[in-house]
Amino acid sequence: MPVIANNLSLTAGASLVNVFDNTNYQFINEGTELRVSAAVVGANDGIQGSNVNYRFTINNTEFADDAIVPALVTGEPFTDGATSYRTNSVIATGQSRNRPLLVFRNQTAGTLVIKFFVFISQQA
C-alpha cells in the first residue's frame, strides 16, 4: 500500500504546506483509509501556544485542528504499527474526489524536526 513519509525540519513560527500536495494522493476515492502518524524529535511540552501542532481534514470534515504532535520516545520505533504516534485513522466518505489536508505548525522558539508517516489504503 502507498505511504507518504518524511522527516522535516520546521523553523520557529513556520507552517508546512499540505503534505498531500503534488502527490498522487492529493485527491483520494471514497472508502480510502488514511492512517496518520506523527512525532516531534525533541520535547513538545503540551503548553498551548508553544508546541508543534497539526491540522488534519478531509474535504470539510475537521479531524484535528491545532492538535499537539506527540514527542518521539527513545526505544519506541516510529512505524505505522506504533499506535502511540497514531494521530488519526479515518476512512474517506465523500462520494466524489476527497481532498485530504495535513499541515504541521511550529509554535516554539526553535527549529524542530517533525516525522510523519501516512498509510494510504488501496484506491477503489
Is pLDDT of 94 > 90?
no
CA distance 8 to 30: 29
Query: Is residue 55 a contact partner of residue 103, using CB atoms and an 8 Å limit?
Result: yes
CA distance 78 to 111: 20
User: Residue 10: which pLDDT band, with cuts at 50, 70 and 90?
Assistant: very high
pLDDT at 45: 64
The cell numbers describing 9, all together, are: 525540519
The tens digit of pLDDT for each residue in 49-91 reads 568 999 999 998 999 999 999 888 888 888 888 888 999 999 9
Q: What is the DSSP letter of 21?
A: T
The cell numbers describing 28, all together, are: 483520494
pTM of the model: 0.90
